Amino acid sequence: MSESNVERRVVDAERPLTGVTYGPAVDADGYVLTLITADGPLEVEFDQEAMYLLWTEVKGTPWPDPPTSTERDLLVKRLVELANGADEEMLRDAIRALGGKR
């Protein structure tokens, strides 16, 4: 990502516990991801949908070096991606197909 319109900052290593925070936006709807960098704070605002997508992307992601994904891991990830975009009827059908009773 060396595009000229991308701003890069490094989180301040002196503040590891407060270097990255997120929470509800105080003066707007949505959420704010705050990065404390050596050049000062950087805030990125997300609407509810974008914050949820970020949260589901990073939740449960191993760090720092994830093991090689198995076929099953990739299938589960794809299933979650599809479930996030599904309507209620599609979710009910998927639950039934997987042996659920709903």
Give the least confident one: 55-64, 66-75, 76-85. 55-64
Indicate if the pLDDT at residue 88 is higher than 90: yes
End-to-end CA distance of the chain: 44
Amino acid 89: pLDDT: 93
Gap between the Cα atoms of 75 and 80, Å rounded: 9
Amino acid 48: pLDDT: 87
Q: Give all strands (DSSP E) within 9-87, no chain letters.
A: 20-24, 31-37, 40-46
- pTM of full prediction above 0.85: no
Amino acid 1: pLDDT: 47
Where do the domains of the chain lie?
Answer: 1-59, 61-101
For residue range 2-52, list pLDDT tens digits in order: 557 888 887 777 766 667 788 888 877 889 988 888 788 888 999 988 888
